[in-house]
Amino acid sequence: MVVNLFRRNVKSFGRHVDSKQAPDVRSAKEFRAIIQRECACVNRNSHRFSLIILDLEKVETGKASVSRLIFFLIRRVRCTDEIGWLDERRIGVALRYSDIGGARKLANEIHNRLCIDWPSLRCTVHTYPVDWWSENKDGARQLCLFDSLPEFHTSLSGDISRLTEPSAKSPAGSVIQSALQEKPVSISVKRLEPLITPSIPTWKRCVDVVGSLIGLMLFSPLLLLAFIMIKTMSLGPVLLKQKRVGYLGKPFSLLKFRTMKVNVDTSAHRQYVKKLIKDDLNQNNGEPMRKLNNDPRIIPFGELLRKTCIDEFPQLINVLRGEMSLIGPRPCLPYEAQEYFLWNTERFNTIPGMSGLWQVKGKNKLTFEEMIRLDITYARQRSLWLDMKILLMTLPAIILDIIDNRQKK
């Protein structure tokens, strides 16, 4: 409707813009597809992408006012930019190859030109990515820990001490610093991922709650037996709380039965994971993701708990809490996420799970890149039917994995 309205009113603005050269104002569906495609390009090319959103919720706008707003945006943006609707009350400007500084400068201009007529107009800048990369001691680029990423719920005119964490010397941090040297305007800057990532479906949460409750009741004898076994065979806590990276990069404490000795050195596993990911992602004959053999850190019967996946049963509590799902990508360790390329992080666009495509499609027979691609496939194609299919394939996959391990021995 708004697009047609704009086209009908273009003639009245003919002295400013040639109607044949005026770009279309995208529909909500088209505009979201453009945003997602541009984020995919950023993942591959490592440039920056920003989005300005004008919220008209509290603005009294008639047809003429909306036409004037659209016309102003079309005159101001570059030919490579896109204008479109996110919903009925929010219109956005997608800025290709624009960082925080460039996006904020344009948002500042838009705000100053329109706030006189519409003082209630709210303007927000979303940028992708922000402070995802930093340099380690060796000068190599690495992914920052997600729990230290800013959410940017404060305005740029406020205190920026936490906006540039964890690396104030990072490119994004320096851009924010330079942008704040201009006249401050109350324009908030937020991450783009939560805006474009589909929310967790209601059906998935219902299945998780019902399934986790049934699982805790059915497997309670096994949980009790594992508790007694670990308590008898090894000193220390029975349950292990391990920090993992979850939905949209948010950290949480994963629960599992402890199968290793207390206070063991994890440096060997860190180096193994780093080499595995580096070799595979650099297409240097990546190896299958096998666990370390003959690990002296494992307690008696710990190997049995691992092979039968009984050590994972406490994660049903994580599912009940909403931190995990029955089906989804396996939540990775923070030091594993630090080795990721940007495109790998798309696996965080869905809630992590106890089982997933990787587990039923080959598990430790697959390389790291194959696992990542399966996780991203699931995040994009998530459905009730796919969840039920993976759930039914999980037990046969565990049994086949146990048989395969015995034959190799």
> What is the arithmetic mean of pLDDT over 278-294?
60
Q: Between these two residues, 287 and 65, which has the higher pLDDT value?
A: 65
Q: What is the pLDDT of residue 287?
A: 61
Q: Tell me the CA distances in angstroms from 269 to 210, 292, 381, one per residue in order.
A: 35, 8, 32
User: What is the per-residue pLDDT across 393-409, written as a single tens digit (0 to 9) for each?
Assistant: 998 888 887 777 676 65
Q: What is the pLDDT of residue 115?
A: 75
Average pLDDT estimate for 347-365: 89
Q: What is the pLDDT of residue 182?
A: 43
Average pLDDT over residues 70-85: 88
DSSP designation for 286: P
Give the residue among 400, 249, 397 at the shortest CA–CA distance from 327: 397
Residue 320 has which token pair?
């009940």
Mean pLDDT of the chain: 77
Q: Is the pLDDT of residue 183 over 70?
A: no
236 pLDDT exceeds 50?
A: yes
Instruction: Report the percentage of the chain scoring pLDDT > 90.
Output: 30
For 72, 94, 314, 324, 389, the CA distances from 220, given in Å and listed in that order, are 64, 52, 10, 19, 25
Task: Characterize the bridge pairing of strands 90-96 and 82-87.
Answer: antiparallel
Cα distances from 291 to residues 120, 170, 336, 374, 383, in angstroms, run 57, 35, 14, 19, 30
- Residue 388, pLDDT > 90, answer yes
Superfamily of domain 2-196: Reverse transcriptase/Diguanylate cyclase domain (3.30.70.270)
Over residues 203-212, the pLDDT tens digits come to 999 999 999 9
Q: Please give the residue that has the higher pLDDT: either 8 or 280.
A: 280
Specify the DSSP class assigned to residue 199.
P
Lowest average pLDDT, out of 2-16, 44-58, 158-172, goes to 158-172
Amino acid identity, residue 248? L
pLDDT of residue 218: 93
pLDDT at residue number 155? 37
* pLDDT attached to residue 6: 42
**Which residue is associated with the tokens 């009730």?**
384
Residue 370 predicted with pLDDT over 80? yes
Give dist(CA 122, CA 111) in Å, integer: 8
Cβ distance 83 to 92 under 8 Å? yes
Instruction: Tokens for 126, please give them.
Output: 């979303």
**Distance separating alpha carbons of residues 380 and 360, to the nearest angstrom:** 18
pLDDT at 288 over 80: no
Would you place residue 318 in the very low, low, confident or very high pLDDT band (cuts 50, 70, 90)? very high
**Residue 320 pLDDT greater than 70, yes or no:** yes
Q: Please compute the mean of the pLDDT values over residues 78-103 and round it to a whole number.
A: 88
Identify the three-state secondary structure at position 22.
coil
H helices of 115-219, in order, are 171-179, 193-196, 202-218
List, by residue range, all CATH 3.30.70.270 domains of the chain.
2-196
Q: Residue 142: which pLDDT band, with cuts at 50, 70 and 90?
A: low
55 — pLDDT class (breaks 50, 70, 90): confident
pLDDT of residue 57: 77
Q: What share of the chain is helix, strand, coil (3-state, %, to 5)?
A: 50, 15, 35
Region 118-125: what's the mean pLDDT? 81
Mean pLDDT of 228-239: 89
Least confident of 53-67, 106-120, 245-259: 53-67
d(CA 125, CA 113): 17
What pLDDT does 286 receive? Answer: 56
What's the pLDDT band for 290 if we cut at 50, 70, 90? Answer: low
Give the H/E segment covering residue 70.
helix 63-76
